[in-house]
Amino acid sequence: MFEYQKYEYFWIFVLIVSFFPVILFSISKLITPANKGPEKATSYESGIEPMGGARIQFQIRYYMFALVFVIFDVETVFLYPWAMSFYEFGIFSFIEALIFISILIVGLIYAWRKGALEWS
């Protein structure tokens, strides 16, 4: 049978995590000043008077470049714990890391061929 005692701390944690954002947003709504004016609706440009509308289109190239950067940046962060405990894992871990790095290289070559790394 299903053991309820085994998961009671889990359900308490889920309840706390569920109500915590609701409570924080409610408190924030209550204590926030309600100064609704035309200055609140304008875009902020480092203290300079805004020029033009806030809704401008960006080329997809910027998003693709940022996405490729984030993917490879996050994936290389995963290599750090492996490098710190390299001697403890043995040859199997080394082979897994080589497979991981080869997948990253294949992804980089694919992005390069598709032109995701070209800025101009």
Q: How confident is residue 54, by pLDDT bands cut at 50, 70 and 90? A: low
Tens digits of per-residue pLDDT, 3-39? 667 788 888 999 999 999 999 999 999 998 777 777 7
Q: What is the CATH number of the domain that holds 107?
A: 1.20.58.1610
Q: Model's pTM, two decimal places?
A: 0.47
Q: Is residue 75 part of a domain?
A: yes
Give start and end residues of each alpha helix (H) in the chain.
8-31, 38-41, 60-77, 79-84, 86-89, 91-114
Domain interval for residue 94? 60-114
Q: What percent of the chain has pLDDT over 70?
A: 86
* Secondary structure of residue 48 in the 3-state scheme: strand
Domain membership flag for residue 47: no
Residue 84 within any structural domain of the chain:
yes
- Does residue 24 belong to any structural domain of this protein? no
